[in-house]
Chains A and B, each alone.
Chain A
Amino acid sequence: MAPLDATAYSECSEVLAEPFKRDKVASIMDTSIGSQYDELREEVRSFFAANEDVAVPAGPGFGGDASEVRNRVVKWQKRLVDAGYAGREIPQRYGGAGHEPDALASLVIEEEFQNAGLSLGMENQGISMFVPTLLHFGREDQKQDLISPTIRGELIWCQGYSEPGSGSDLASLRTSAVLDGDEYVINGQKIWTSGAREADMMFALIRTEADAGKHGGISYLVLSMDTPGLDVRPLMTMTGDASFNEVFFTDVRVPATNVIGRPGQGWEVGTYTLRFERNMLGRSNATENYMAGCVDILRERGLIDSPVYRDRLLKLEGRVQAMKYHQLRLLTDRLKKRDSGAGGLIVKLNNCQLNYDICALAIDAMAEQGVLKRGSKHVRDYGNWQRNYMYALGLIIGGGTAQIQKNIIGERGLGLPREPKPAAA
């Protein structure tokens, strides 16, 4: 249909006249992906058939011995990278598949993995946050060295951002480095460092220029976790894991060439990384898998017809489906290169809370089984429900707390004024 000039019409009756009448069937919103992607779909399906031996399921049904799990996940990751489903848009010279960005191809792949109930590979701070940052700000030699092993799961990263006195107000961080010849010497402390003991490398925000102001004196450094002077101490959380750590730096010497971007550009580089964290934490695929798992539990327990459980389940289903179609709306915006405005800012806030609420319902439905810890006799789904219930609570805080998200939505999405700075004492 030819574009219509909105200003040409003042009355609905005119709008409803001839130009508007059209074949109703054609008016159904196009949520299809187009037959040009059928081949890709077939290709993904034959990949599943050929790689069954190491396939990693998505959702609550996968777990067991930690090192076996990790080996399997890494094996699966390598196959995904080789097939071009992980690291899909990473250039070939850095070990990726070098595909042009294509949101619909990504959607087809996601759909097929979702339908098969399989994991679309590792989602960690290295792959989801560090690599896109490095691609944008890194030097050629840094990209050559670091990207390929990271996307293949051979190089695991942790993020050295938060400090005891610097959480939401991250730019107040105090861990600092002084230049000594061609090396930085770092002293200070990071905290809430997820996966620091398993990590091979860290990307960190370090104050390298004492007099350059709050945001201007920070650099984005990468360092090996084997570097002398690093001391990692686990922090036990209620999940029963020590996934968080404190990391102490005592005269830790790092080559000055390990800066990503320019020295003093760290705030810009670091906040670029955080954008990817918000996306990583807001993905909805896992949400649908957990929702399906939750329905299974209610069925098995004979609670699916209980009015109390059904009410909670349907409230969740309304939110899950609303967010599912909201993602299609955001995808359409992306394809049309339109800004989604406030619509894009609400995803992390909603999905983290939703994941938590789904696990809460499943655990309530499990009754006594719901209190069991991972590894216990009778525990369901390797204790993943309990773990995710508690971990999701952490994600509501992590990656920009729900409160910070609400500030962002209020200020950037709704145009409400910022909190005024307190008057100097």
Chain B
Amino acid sequence: MDFGLTQPQELLRDSIARFLAQDVGIERVRRVMDSESGQDEAIHGQLGDQGITGLLIDMNRGGSELGMQEAAIAAQEIGRAAAPVNFHSSYVLAPLLIAGADGGERRNGLLEGIAEGRTLITPILDAPIENGRVVPDAAWSDAFLLESGGSLHLLEATTAGIDIEPLQTVDDTRRVAEVTFSGVDLNAAESLGGSAESSQRAVYAAQIAIAADALGAAQKGLHIAVDYAKERKQFERIIGSFQAVKHICAEVLAEVEPVQSLLWHTADAWDDGSDEIDHFAPLLKAHATDVAPGLRRHRLHPRVRHAHLLQARRPRPPGAGESDGAQGAGGGCDVRLRGTLELRPE
């Protein structure tokens, strides 16, 4: 009986956290949020340099050939850092779909590109597209991977007739665009083969990654709220000493913390190839994304979160440090609406 991360896994988690804190800090996230396009051009290459994009890719294709537990560790840290990347789509769903394809040399080249962080492939499930689809990262994807009933087709983003129109999002770290195909001959798209079974398994993995991301974001949100509740004073008292505030923090902890164990077990079931995954992957995803937005439902920090968002937006005078109380304690971070993303309609 040893239910928990191994020492190497903890080491991986800490290294990813350290990398994100150093290189993808909140200042950078805010710049991306405030930019017109919402694109962070450098992040994919940096994640590739760190090996984070290739966790699920075979060693002979440039990856580290690890499992879902390690991918979930990465997703949770990325959620915690609110890093502007759709890890579940670009580095879980895409490589697993492609790995399950029988596309020969082409398949290998795509996996190598993903592992290096130089190729961004965005899967679109249940293709074909009719009347446009809302697709993450569409404005800067290199190619779209259309999945339908398990069979895969690859379309370069530059293919004539693909229309991409960026849309406004509530979560500025994860932009989407409407993708419309007009006069694109889907039969002419490159077929990679694939199977329904392997598609299903890739979708389960993406569900686990979304849950891990939501959990990381929720843990960070709680952390910020608790830190703030320990220093903010009203009525000559630290507000965290008021039961009205303390109890909400306790409720969120009681809801969020057990999700960690459910995540570990589900990632394990995936790695183990267990049949349990049919039950646990959708259950985990539903439960984690239910609990993570619970932060808002509990009104844990409309105030705290709002304060941080306002600080995030307010231009700071040059040279201003992190001396401001609320700012310094939490480091600023917004819990994103990732939980509301649905992979696949019922």
Contacts and interface: CB of A to CB of B under 8 A. Distances in A.
B241 interface: yes
B258 A31 contact: no
A30 B246 contact: no
B261 A418 contact: no
B59 A21 contact: yes
Interface in A399-425: 403, 405-407, 409-411, 413-420
Contact of B15 (A12, A326, A411): A12
Interface stretch (A55-63, A192-200, A252-260, A341-349): A341-349
Interface string B14-54: 11101100000000000000000000000000000111100
Main secondary structure of the interface of B (DSSP, over half): helix
B259 interface: yes
Interface string B119-150: 00000000000000000000000000000000
B220 to A, nearest CB: 14
B246 A319 contact: no
Interface stretch (B177-185, B195-203, B279-287, B320-328): B279-287
A9 B11 contact: yes
B2 A30 contact: yes
B283 to A, nearest CB: 6
B208 interface: no
Nearest to A103: B1
Contacts of B167: none
A29 interface: yes
Contact of B250 (A9, A317, A326, A410): A410
B3 A419 contact: no
Given A325-B3, A342-B257, A416 B268 contact: no
Interface stretch (A134-142, A217-225, A328-336): A328-336
A287 B73 CA distance: 30
Contacts of B268: 28-29, 31
A11 interface: yes
A409 B1 contact: no
B168 interface: no
Contacts of A32: 1
Q: Which of B66, B238, B246 has the most CB of A within 10 A?
A: B246
A14 B16 CA distance: 11
B226 A107 contact: no
Contacts of A181: none
A210 to B, nearest CB: 32
B272 interface: yes
B1 A416 contact: no
A128 interface: no
Contact of B246 (A314, A349, A406): A406
Contacts of B69: 27, 29
Contacts of A11: 15, 19, 50
Interface string B257-270: 11111101100100
A417 B271 contact: no
Interface residues on A, range: 35 or more
Interface in B203-247: 226, 229-230, 237-238, 240-243, 245-247
B51 A13 contact: yes
B170 interface: no
A397 to B, nearest CB: 15
A410 B247 contact: yes
Main secondary structure of the interface of A (DSSP, over half): helix
Nearest to B229: A416
B254 A409 contact: yes
B67 interface: yes
A417 B257 contact: no
B317 interface: no
A342 B257 CA distance: 9
B265 A325 contact: yes
Given A104-B1, A419-B243, A325 B258 contact: yes
Interface in A1-37: 1, 3-4, 6, 9-16, 19-22, 24-25, 27-34
A3 B10 CA distance: 11
B1 A332 contact: yes
Contact of B226 (A315, A407, A416): A416
Contacts of A4: 7-8, 11
B329 interface: no
Given A410-B240, A416-B230, A322 B259 contact: yes
B2 A29 contact: yes
Given A32-B1, A417-B240, A418-B241, A322 B287 contact: yes
Interface string A30-73: 11111000000000000000000000000000000000000000
A417 B59 CA distance: 50
Given A28-B272, A29-B264, A420-B237, A410 B254 contact: no
Contacts of A332: 1-4
A417 B230 CA distance: 7
Contact of A15 (B15, B257, B286): B15
Nearest to A333: B4
A9 B15 contact: yes
B64 interface: yes
Contacts of A346: 250, 253-254, 257-258
Contacts of A417: 230, 238, 240-241
A265 interface: no
A21 B247 contact: no
B156 interface: no
Given A20-B12, A410-B240, A331 B1 contact: yes
Contacts of B3: 29-31, 325, 328-329, 331-332
A328 B51 CA distance: 31
21 contacts: A16-B12, A20-B8, A27-B67, A28-B271, A30-B1, A30-B2, A32-B1, A318-B262, A318-B287, A319-B287, A325-B262, A329-B3, A332-B1, A342-B257, A349-B250, A406-B243, A406-B251, A407-B246, A410-B240, A410-B250, A419-B242
Given A416-B245, A420-B237, 13 more contacts: A4-B8, A13-B51, A21-B59, A28-B271, A31-B265, A315-B290, A318-B290, A322-B261, A325-B261, A332-B3, A342-B253, A414-B250, A418-B241
Interface of A: 1, 3-4, 6, 9-16, 19-22, 24-25, 27-34, 103-104, 107, 314-315, 317-319, 321-323, 325-326, 328-329, 331-332, 335, 342-343, 346, 349-350, 403, 405-407, 409-411, 413-420
Nearest first, the 3 closest Cβ-Cβ pairs linking A and B are: A318-B287, A325-B261, A410-B246
